[in-house]
Every structure is written in structure tokens, then in C-alpha cells.
Structure 1
Amino acid sequence: MDRTPFVRLGRLAWPVLIAQLATIGMMAIDTVVVGRSNTDNLAALAVGASVYVSLALALSGVVQALLPGVAHQIGRGDAAAAGKLIFQAFWLVLLLAVFGDLVLFFPGWMIALAELTPAVEALTRDYLFILAFSLPASLGYRAFHAIAGGVGRTRPLMWLSLGQTTGHALMAPVLVDSLTIGTLTLGVGLGASGAALSQAILAWLVCGAGVVVLCKSPVYRNLLKNARWSGPDWKSLGQLMRVGLPMGLSYFVEITAFTVMAIFIARLGPEVLSGHRIVANLSAMVYMFPLAIGTATAALVGQSAGADRDAEARAMARSAFWVACVGSGILAVLLWEFRSVLAWLGSPDENVQAVAIGLVGFVAAYQLFDAAQTVAAFALRGYHVTLLPLGIHLTAFWLIGLWGGYQLAFYGLPMLSIAPMGAAGFWSAVLGATVLAAIGLVGLLIWVQRLRRAPG
């Protein structure tokens, strides 16, 4: 078997990349399908999805502690400990799902920030209520995703995610739209709620498929046969929470630099919000590339660090930086060159297109820095270093990105004669935040690696 870092990284990363692109494709499908419905439904989708994605990704980040945890045990050759973590995943998901659903059933304090019209607020509440029923299944699938990454068997993720997105592409238009031809009505016409219902149905199907893979695949059976089903093991759950909570909060901090941005941008009007939504989708889509590389990096660094092969762990991280930065640089150029076409695909409204075209340049500008900070953060997770990265993310994405963006968007910088910038103010601040995060996280990774090389 070829053990070179680039080959190992590629074998693990490319199915994850396709799986994540398929998953983000569901968001793109929602934007296109709901966007053809009406502006109120698209605005409800933008705000509702911002709330749901912020919460779901934060909780998924905690679940992701399973990835370095399982990878470390595999690196040590302790199959029983790895199997025990897989069993404890059920209790971790259940605990997080109860908390998450309470937030989604009572979302008023979050959507109040957007200052929505009564009609849009009602649509947003309905959207979140339906998604509350999908959250346990979504977290269950993310647990399987993390376990598969830790074991190094990522190809099933690709097929499951492709099936989920294909199902959504077929089901969402029927549930969202309603077309009357003579006496025949085609579609249900639920608007944004139809997109949520499609997601909920498919989340449970794909979660069930993941459980089947865990039970039937010889790879997982070999791990599970060395462990046994038990109730909550608070020591194991505590270890997962110790590693996972900073990871989840880091996800939350980073994603809210974008999702809370949408809530504030809603004050600028439906056209601006819709244009922002298009660009946010593009940003999320291109982020899937460094995220896939980062996921593979966390698994491979975790396995190498668990086996005390520090030179191999460093080689994995270096290879990941090269691949992520080169790929993200190419994506940045493509975003800039095709910005008008991408805006047109996102909306038929020329005003919305103009907003989107004006914001795409910010996304292109921070791609290299985003790749660097993503790979560094995931490599640190492979070493089980998660608390200090949380501090860096808090400073960069909340202090600089969110607070700084709010100031630039609505007040400008009077001392520098900079007028309020609107949506561009938020994206300018995110650019600065990403640069700061890249510098901080890469520096921290170098420091951690040097500590592990030091004698004694």
C-alpha cells in the first residue's frame, strides 16, 4: 500500500469532498427552488437557514470529537476503545438533540434580531419548526460521518450524500411549488416549509442508512465486537465533550460570522438579503474543498499522533496545506471570472444579481487564507488541541468579523471618513477576520508540533 502523504490524503479526502458538495448542494437547491416562489419565502429561508445552520453545525462540531477520538484509538491499535466510542455516539447525539430541539421550537429570541415583517416571521417559524424534527437524524448522520472519517472509510459518505441530494432535488420542487394547469394542480405549494419537510424526510432516511452500514460493514463489526452496548458512560462522554465543545463552539463562532450577518442584513431589504444569500451559498460551496482536506487531515494526523509517529503527522499536515491552498487559489480565480453567471443562476432579479456581483470579490479574496486556517484548525484537532483555536476563532470571527462588520455596515468609520458600507461592510470584516485566523492558527500549529518534537 502506498503510504505517501499526498496519496493517503487524497484517498480519504475526495469522497468527503463529494459528500460535502452534495450536502451543500441541498442549500443551493433550496435557494433556487424557493427563490422562484416569492421574495418573502426566500427571505424566510435566508433567516431560518441561518438560525438552523448555526445551531446544527455547532452541535455537529461537538459530535465531530468522535473523529479524532476514534482515529487515536485506531492509531494505538485499541479496537475495543474505538468500538466503545461508537456505542457512546448514540447517547451523545441524544443529549445534543434534546438541547437543539428546544432552541428550534422556541426561536423567537433569535429571529427577533432580523426585524422581519409579520408575514416573513411566520414563514420563518414554520420552517424552523419542521427542521426541529430532522435535527436528531442530522446529528446521527454526522456521528456516522465522524466515525467513518476516524476509521478512514469515507466512500459510503459520498454515496449516501449523493442519494440525499438527489432525493431533495426531486422532492423539494414538488413540496415548495404549486402549479395549476386547468383543473389539475401540480405540487403542494408549501414554500420554504416544503424545503424543510423534504430535508427532514431525507435526514431520517440517510441516518437509517448510516446505521445499516455500521451494523453490516465488516470494518465496523470488527470494532464493535470488541466492545459492548451500554448506557451512558459519563467518563467517555466527558472526554468527548472536553474535546468536542471547543470544536462545536469554534464551528458556531465561524459560521455565525456568516449566518448572524444574514439576520442583520435582512434590515437592508429583501433584495440585499437575497443577494447576500447567493454569495453566502457560493462561499459555503467553495469552502467544502478545504473542509474536505481538513477532515482528512484531522483523521490522518490523529492516527499518526495516536501511534506516536510525529514525523508522519507533520508530513500529513504539510501535504494538506499544499493541496488546500493550491485548490482554493484556483477556486478564487474561477469565482471572480464567472461572478456574473453565478449571480444570474442565483436569481432572475437584476437588483439581486447586482448585489451578489458586488460581494463575490470578497469571497475570492479570502480563499487562500480560509484554506490555511481550515487545515491548521483540523490538524490541531488531530492533536486534540481545541481550546486555544476556539480563542482565536472568537477573536477573529466575532470581534473582527461580526462586531467589526456591524460597525462598517451600519455606521462606517467616521474617523477615517468611511461611510456606512451596507452588506459590503460585513464581507470586508470577514476578509480581515479570515486573515487573522489563518495567522493565529498556523502559528499555533507550528508551536504544537515543536512541543511534540522537544525531548522529554
Structure 2
Amino acid sequence: MYETTTIRQKINLFITILLPILITQLSMYAMNFFDTIMSGNAGAEQLAGVAIGSSLWIPISTGINGVLIAISPMVAQLLGAKKEKDIPETVRQGIYLAIGLAIVVSVIGFFLINPILRIMDLEAEVSHVAKFYLITIGTGIIPLFIFNLLRCYIDALGQTRISMFIILLSLPLNILFNYMFIFGEFGAPALGGIGAGVASSLTYWLCNGIAVWVIWKVRPFRNQHIFRNWTLPSIRVWWEQLRIGVPIGFSMFFEVSFFSAVTLFMSEYNTYTIAAHQAALNFASFLYMIPLSIATTLTIVIGFEVGANRQNHARTYSFMGIITGVIIAFLAGFILYAFDEPVARLYNQNPEVISLTKNFIFFAIFYQFADAFGAPIQGILRGYKDVDVAFWMSLVSYWLIGLPSGWLLAQFTTLGPYGYWVGIIIGLSVGAVALVIRMLYLQRRLLQENQIQS
């Protein structure tokens, strides 16, 4: 990270940080992408089981990882304020916190998996796959959370190519593990959708091991001695991270669980509908990695500028990111419209599943526009450490507006399952509008405070 003075310099820095993050996010989601595709090719029941398991797992893991994301603006602002000596202890305490959260989630999951699946009244095979997918993926929860904490630290230093390298190295091995454990190749047992959980867990351990080695051996990380001088867990440092991270985590949880709740509501429809919904959502979410990467980049660059008290420069970066997100939205919409059938065939060859998937993809074209606009603004607010208001906005727009409207449309109109997707569009749109209002208010206030101080 370094200070910039001209628009051209800002664009160059923005792209330099963004591209590796984008490749990293796409590659990380590609793991889930291939889990879904390869499970679908093992059968519609396997795909539906992975869909239900993912709908329970992803909101929890995303929410906790949202808490850990707090390390990114914390490190970025310390870097901008030239307080590098405080970074190692902040990261070490973050590792303690990641392990503690992983243990809590594991214990709670152990007691709740069976009751939740029984309530859903799924077909026996789908319920079996979902249960053991969750159990197997849970064996990698501790390394997953530690890795995500370390990745946020690496990225906050501007070394985003390192994260990209780790994920690109791990992705082909994840595909290999999927092939082995889903289909029973190379002497491995044929576990169907459950094998996707085994593959993900193995990949989490691998990613974490590589990240630890890189931080221990490679400059500039090794100069900060992250894994030396361990102290006892500090409630004070934990509180600072939780104060920022919990609202981020809940905001991400509300958004992701919003989509997962839709999947759970879909359990009232047949297996083909569940499979088609999951296929369309999986690909649209794959495209969402682009605005999400823009958001992560904005958190880093804006956090750096805010730490250096360069409010005008932070504002310039924010508008740069929003414009980029809007351009990407049009490109993603074109991809979804032009390649709906090839995308549908990636997941399953059943003609009914393909037809249903194409219908869901049509609605995804519209909701990704709101997502591509709202995600960068969330990243901007995180860079300012302004996270509390975004938390309430997420709760209201997704759970009090989007999901109820989707349920009403699904139950009382001819839209049926597609009504839930209209609810997604409504919820995301309301959230995006609320976020942009908050961003403009915050930036205006900070600029006025700077003018008064000067």
C-alpha cells in the first residue's frame, strides 16, 4: 500500500489490488461451484442434498468470516497511520478469536443438525446427504477460519497476489478431491454429495497450511514475526475486533441467510425445483464474486486513506469502485441472458431441471444489478469502520422486506417458486438504496469535520 495523488495513480493501485482479489474470490467460489456441478452429475438427489447442506453451512461460515474480516480495516488503518508495530499482536489475537469461534460453531452444530433437518421433512436420501455433507465439511472449520483471518491480514498489507497464489494452488486439488470422493476414483469411496464435504475440508486444511508457511517464511510477512512472542488472549483486543466484526458478520449473515432461507422454503417443492434453484443461484453467486472483490478492495484502500486522514482521497476511491460495479453489472447481466442454457446444462442433464434453471436465471439477471451496486458500498462503509447502520439496514431490507414479500408472492400469486426470487430483487434493491444514502451522509459529515479542523 502507498499514498496516491492523481486519479491515474489511484486507478493503477485499485486495479493492482483488485485483480488478485478477484482471481482469489472466483477461485474460492469455484470450489463451491465444482462441488455443486459434480454433485449434480452424481444425481438430482445428491445435488438437492448439497443444496440443503450448503444453505445451512454457508450463512454460518460467511457470518463468522465476516467477524474475522474486521482484521482487514484494522490492519489497513494501522498501516495508513504508520503504526505497523501494532499489527502483529492484532493478528495473533485474531487467530485466537478465529479458533474460539470455530469451536463454538462446531459445538452448536453438533446439537442442531438433526433437529433442523427433521423439521424440513426432506426425502430420506436428500436429508442423509445434507447431514453428512455438513459433518464432513465441519472437520475443516478451524483451519478455514484461521485461513480467512490470515488472508485478510495478507490482503490488508496490499499483498493480494499471495492470497491469489494460495487459492490457485489449492483449486485444482479441490477438484481432484471432489472427483475422488464424489465418484469413488483412485481408490477413494464413492460418497456422492457427501464427498464434496470431504473435499472441501481437505482443501481448507491445505490452504491454511500454505498460508501459515508463507507468513512464516516470505517477506514482508516474516519481518513482522506474527507467530512469535505469543501472549495470552486479550479481551480488550478481542472487543475491538468484535465491535467492528460482529456488525459486519451479521450483515453478511443476514444477506447470505436470506438466500439460504429461500432455499429452505423451496423444500416444499419437488427435488427438481430445488436442484434448479440451487444451480441458478450457484452460477449467479459465482458472478457476484466480482462486486464482492471490488468491495474487499475498497475496504483496503479506503481504510488506508482514512487511517492517513485523507478523506477526499477516500471519497474518490469510493466513486471509482461504484462505477466499476455498475459496469460489471451490465456485463454479468449479458452473460446470464446469453448463456442461460449452457449454464443450466453444466449442472444437470435432466430436461425438466434445465428448463427450470433457465427460468430462475432470468430472475437472477435483475437481482444481480442491485447486488453489484450494493456490495461495493458495503466495502466502502467497512473501510470507514462504519458498520452498525449497515447491520440494521441488512436486517430490515432482507428479512423484514425481501423475504416476506417473496413468500407472499410465492404463496398467493401464480409466480410460485419464482416469487421468492422477486422477493430477492426487492430486498437487495431496498438495501442498496439505503446503503448509498448512508455512504453519502457519512462522507459529507467527515469532510465537514476535516474542514473545521483545518
Measured against the shorter chain, the TM-score band is over 0.9
The question of 1:172 aligning with 2:166 is answered no
Match of 1:161 in 2: 167
Match of 2:429 in 1: 435
For 1:9, which of 11, 14, 19 is the aligned residue?
14
Match of 2:91 in 1: 86
- Structure 1 contact 173–187 (Cα < 8 Å) conserved: no
Q: 1:407 Cα deviation (Å)?
A: 2.2
Q: 1:298 to 1:227 in 2, by over 3 A?
A: farther
Match of 1:135 in 2: 141
- Root-mean-square deviation (CA, aligned residues, Å) is 1.7
- Structure 1 contact 81–227 (Cα < 8 Å) conserved: no
Match of 2:70 in 1: 65
Give SS of 1:354's match. helix
Give, as a single letter, the amino acid of the residue that structure 2 aligns with 1:303.
F
Matches within 5 A, 1:172-191: 172-178=178-184, 187-191=188-192
Give, as a single letter, the amino acid of the residue that structure 2 aligns with 1:171.
F
CA distance in 2: counterparts of 1:226 and 1:121, whole angstroms: 42
For 1:453, which of 423, 430, 447 is the aligned residue?
447
Q: 1:199 Cα deviation (Å)?
A: 1.0
Q: 1:225 to 1:360 in 2, by over 3 A?
A: closer
Q: 1:7 Cα deviation (Å)?
A: 1.3
- Listed as ranges, the gaps of 5+ residues in structure 2 are none
Give, as a single letter, the amino acid of the residue that structure 1 aligns with 2:51.
A
For 1:24, which of 22, 29, 34 is the aligned residue?
29
CA distance in 2: counterparts of 1:111 and 1:355, whole angstroms: 25
Give, as a single letter, the amino acid of the residue that structure 2 aligns with 1:55.
I
Match of 2:51 in 1: 46
Bigger CA drift: 60-69 or 113-122? Answer: 113-122
Match of 1:284 in 2: 285
Match of 2:123 in 1: 117
Match of 2:198 in 1: 197
CA distance in 2: counterparts of 1:114 and 1:162, whole angstroms: 37
Cα-to-partner distance string for 1:201-253 (whole Å, 9 max, x where unaligned): 11111101111111112222333379842111111100100100010001110
Q: 1:275 Cα deviation (Å)?
A: 0.3
- Structure 2 contact 378–390 (Cα < 8 Å) conserved: yes
Bigger CA drift: 117-126 or 72-81? Answer: 117-126
Cα-to-partner distance string for 1:47-71 (whole Å, 9 max, x where unaligned): 0011111110010000000000111
CA distance in 2: counterparts of 1:59 and 1:301, whole angstroms: 23
- Structure 2 contact 377–436 (Cα < 8 Å) conserved: yes
- Structure 2 contact 262–420 (Cα < 8 Å) conserved: yes
Q: 1:187 Cα deviation (Å)?
A: 4.8
CA distance in 1: counterparts of 2:327 and 2:282, whole angstroms: 21
CA distance in 1: counterparts of 2:222 and 2:187, whole angstroms: 46
CA distance in 2: counterparts of 1:225 and 1:24, whole angstroms: 28
TM-score by length of 2: 0.94
Match of 1:104 in 2: 109
Give, as a single letter, the amino acid of the residue that structure 2 aligns with 1:244.
G
Give, as a single letter, the amino acid of the residue that structure 2 aligns with 1:425.
G
For 2:38, which of 29, 33, 37 is the aligned residue?
33
Cα-to-partner distance string for 1:313-346 (whole Å, 9 max, x where unaligned): 0111111111111012111111111111111122
Match of 2:416 in 1: 422
Bigger CA drift: 19-28 or 65-74? Answer: 19-28
CA distance in 1: counterparts of 2:174 and 2:125, whole angstroms: 26
CA distance in 1: counterparts of 2:55 and 2:72, whole angstroms: 26
- Structure 1 contact 294–375 (Cα < 8 Å) conserved: yes
CA distance in 1: counterparts of 2:430 and 2:443, whole angstroms: 20
CA distance in 1: counterparts of 2:188 and 2:218, whole angstroms: 39
- Listed as ranges, the gaps of 5+ residues in structure 1 are 180-184, 413-417
Give SS of 1:348's match. coil
Give SS of 2:233's match. coil
Match of 2:314 in 1: 313
Runs of at least 4 residues off by over 4 Å? none
CA distance in 1: counterparts of 2:240 and 2:395, whole angstroms: 22
Matches within 5 A, 1:357-368: 357-368=358-369
CA distance in 1: counterparts of 2:3 and 2:380, whole angstroms: 22
Give, as a single letter, the amino acid of the residue that structure 2 aligns with 1:209.
I
- Structure 2 contact 154–160 (Cα < 8 Å) conserved: yes
Give SS of 2:220's match. helix
Give, as a single letter, the amino acid of the residue that structure 2 aligns with 1:146.
C
Q: 1:368 Cα deviation (Å)?
A: 2.8
Give, as a single letter, the amino acid of the residue that structure 2 aligns with 1:445.
M
Bigger CA drift: 14-23 or 364-373? Answer: 364-373
CA distance in 2: counterparts of 1:237 and 1:40, whole angstroms: 43
Give, as a single letter, the amino acid of the residue that structure 1 aligns with 2:32.
M
The question of 1:145 aligning with 2:139 is answered no
Matches within 5 A, 1:272-421: 272-409=273-410, 411-412=411-412, 418-419=413-414, 421=415
Give SS of 1:218's match. coil
Q: 1:372 Cα deviation (Å)?
A: 1.6
Cα-to-partner distance string for 1:99-158 (whole Å, 9 max, x where unaligned): 111233231343345321233222221111111111111111111121112111110111
CA distance in 2: counterparts of 1:77 and 1:113, whole angstroms: 53
Aligned pairs, number: 444
Q: 1:432 Cα deviation (Å)?
A: 0.9
Give SS of 1:231's match. coil
CA distance in 2: counterparts of 1:190 and 1:427, whole angstroms: 32
Q: 1:186 Cα deviation (Å)?
A: 6.0
Give, as a single letter, the amino acid of the residue that structure 2 aligns with 1:95.
G
CA distance in 2: counterparts of 1:198 and 1:227, whole angstroms: 32
Q: 1:227 to 1:198 in 2, by over 3 A?
A: closer
CA distance in 2: counterparts of 1:225 and 1:208, whole angstroms: 15
Percent of aligned positions with the same letter in both sequences?
Answer: 24
CA distance in 1: counterparts of 2:445 and 2:76, whole angstroms: 21
